[in-house]
């Protein structure tokens, strides 16, 4: 974390935090597209990598498959047709998702209002955040936009669905996971790669289902509101800090002058002893502050490590 940002967070008083959060009523307004997750384009690269193997399996069938009389009963054919339909549904869903996102406004707006009723103070905080996003060119490659790349994949699947191989097997009995590892699937280069594609689609859909789970979404919304409450508390503390900042140094100077004056009047302590005590207490207080800072940093870095591990696990599942 940036040191200046960390120092700022450490400088915020925690006084009344629990009471402030407990007594805060939050109102949040925003555009419909405010909480939309960013579109994942990584799947396009992965699917494109497997398309040549899919085309080979359809247009240049494995010899052992050609020699079988009733091809509709052959497991490898059933697997291949099942995969093609599964892939077609997947890509069409992602295509609809992209088109829907492109129709949305490129502007985002968030309006937050809070009311907090403390024992000696009623606090109202309101802020607005507006942004205008630049054109999203993520997912583009070799001169094609993400939309064009997806349309090209759909064209490939359209050609496959019009092939004599596909038409002869269109009413075949489909298969599902787990896929049987037959000799052909394990030995033929095309089928080995298509098995990887099947596993990728299964894992990707599983992660998507988990991400859009209602309980998960409710937890994300609750976490978002907690963050907004913290922002309101920070603004509240800034208001009070602003009132003190201009006079803080004078306040502490006057406070110390009064202590020294009382010590000189009522004590026989000399200046050397006084400085020794002050230095010792200052060092103890400074050490406590440094330890608190290290603890906050440790918690922060631990959270980051945990988050990065979750991301790596998700990416590993997708692969």
Instruction: Examine the pLDDT at 301 and tell me if it is beyond 70.
Output: no
Q: What is the mean pLDDT of the chain?
A: 80
For the chain, how big is the Rg over CA atoms in Å? Answer: 32
Q: What is the pLDDT of residues 154-163, one digit of tens each?
A: 999 999 999 9
Q: What is the mean pLDDT of residues 2-28?
A: 79
What is the CB-side half-sphere exposure of residue 260 using CA atoms within 13 A?
13
Taking residues 17-27, report their average pLDDT: 89
Residue 32: pLDDT band by 50, 70, 90 thresholds?
Answer: low
Residue 287 CA: distances (Å) to CA of 7, 283, 294, 298: 15, 6, 10, 16
* Residue of 36, 10, 5 whose CA lies nearest to 212: 36
How far apart are alpha carbons 169 and 65 in whole angstroms?
13
With a cut of 90, say whether residue 96 has pLDDT above it: yes
**C-alpha closest to that of 150 among 43, 36, 38, 39:** 43
Torsion, CA 189, CA 190, CA 192, CA 198, rounded to 10: 170
Mean pLDDT, rounded, for 294-301: 66
Q: Is the pLDDT confidence value at 120 over 90?
A: no
Q: How many CA atoms lie within 13 A of 160 on its CB side?
A: 26
Burial of 257 (0-12, 13-18, 19+ CB in 10 A): exposed
Residue-level pLDDT at 135:
67
Mean pLDDT of the region 275-280 = 80
Three-state DSSP class for residue 104: coil
Least confident of 57-66, 139-148, 200-209, 293-302: 293-302
pLDDT higher than 80, residue 207: no
Question: Taking residues 26-41, what's their average pLDDT?
Answer: 76
Percent of the chain predicted with pLDDT > 70: 72
Token readout for 225 is: 């509101």
Question: Are the CB atoms for 55 and 142 separated by under 8 Å?
Answer: no
Give how far the C-alpha of residue 79 lies from the chain's centroid of Cα atoms, to the nearest Å.
34
Work out the average pLDDT over 213-242: 76
Q: Report whether pLDDT(134) > 80.
A: no
31, 87, 169 from 138: Cα distances, Å: 22, 22, 37
CA distance 29 to 148: 35
Separation of alpha carbons 31 and 212, rounded Å? 19
Whose tokens are 């000799």? That residue is: 183
Question: Is the pLDDT score of 77 beyond 80?
Answer: yes
Q: How far apart are CA 94 and CA 91, in angstroms?
A: 5
* Higher-confidence position of 105 and 235: 235
Identify the bridge partners of residue 113 per DSSP, sorted by sequence position: 27, 126
Q: Report, as an integer, the average pLDDT of 5-26.
A: 79
Residue 184: pLDDT above 70?
A: yes
pLDDT at 129 > cutoff 70: yes
């Amino acid at each position: 974390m940036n040191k200046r940002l960390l120092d700022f967070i450490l400088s915020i008083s925690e006084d009344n935090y629990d009471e402030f959060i407990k007594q805060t009523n939050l109102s949040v307004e925003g555009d419909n597209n405010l909480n939309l997750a960013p579109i994942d384009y990584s799947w396009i690269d992965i699917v494109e990598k497997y398309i040549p193997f899919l085309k080979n399996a359809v247009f240049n069938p494995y010899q052992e498959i050609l020699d079988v009389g009733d091809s509709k009963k052959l497991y490898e054919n059933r697997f291949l047709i099942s995969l093609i339909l599964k892939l077609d549904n997947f890509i069409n869903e992602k295509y609809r998702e992209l088109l829907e996102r492109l129709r949305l406004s490129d502007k985002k707006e968030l309006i937050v209002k809070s009311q907090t009723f403390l024992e000696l103070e009623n606090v109202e905080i309101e802020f607005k955040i507006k942004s205008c996003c630049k054109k999203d060119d993520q997912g583009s490659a070799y001169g094609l936009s993400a939309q064009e790349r997806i349309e090209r994949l759909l064209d490939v699947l359209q050609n496959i669905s019009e092939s004599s191989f596909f038409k002869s097997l269109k009413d075949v009995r489909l298969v599902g996971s787990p896929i049987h590892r037959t000799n052909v699937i394990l030995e033929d280069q095309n089928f080995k790669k298509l098995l990887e594609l099947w596993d990728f689609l299964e894992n990707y859909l599983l992660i998507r289902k988990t991400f859009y789970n209602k309980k998960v979404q409710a937890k994300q919304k609750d976490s978002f509101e907690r963050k907004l409450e913290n922002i309101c508390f920070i603004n509240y503390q800034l208001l009070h800090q602003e009132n003190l900042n201009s006079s803080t140094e004078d306040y502490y100077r006057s406070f110390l002058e009064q202590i020294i004056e009382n010590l000189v009047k009522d004590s026989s302590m000399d200046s050397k002893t006084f400085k020794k005590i002050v230095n010792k207490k200052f060092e103890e207080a400074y050490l406590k502050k440094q330890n608190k800072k290290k603890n906050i940093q440790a918690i922060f870095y631990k959270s980051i490590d945990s988050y990065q591990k979750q991301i790596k696990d998700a990416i590993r599942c997708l692969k």
